[in-house]
Amino acid sequence: MIDPLLNAIFTVVDFVFDLSIAIDRTKRLSRQATGCDKIVDVPPDPKPLPPAAQRALAEAKERERAREAAAQAASGTDQAS
């Protein structure tokens, strides 16, 4: 009666050790393949902007360029005097 119970316990313990070894080997393989053992969350792909938002962004960039050009021209005229 005790022999089958011990056999079952040893079988379960052996399975747990085999599972542990398999997980360890998988980690080592991933470390060799990637050079890093950390798991990194990858952000999802960005959603495309609607046309109105794209236009607003383009207008804001254009205003910023014009502001920088005006500031540069103003500083250039100050230095020339």
pLDDT tens-digit map of 51-77: 999 999 999 999 999 999 999 988 876
Give Cα 65 distance to the centre of its chain: 32
pTM: 0.42
Tell me how crowded residue 73 is: count the other CB atoms within 10 A of its CB: 10
Which residue, chain included where needed, has tokens 């316990």? Answer: 9
Tell me how crowded residue 30 is: count the other CB atoms within 10 A of its CB: 13
Q: Are 15 and 23 in contact (CB under 8 A)?
A: no
pLDDT score of 80 more than 80: no
pLDDT at 50: 92
Side-chain-side CA neighbours of residue 34 (13 Å):
11
pLDDT score of 23 more than 70: yes
| Better-predicted residue by pLDDT, 39 or 22 | 22
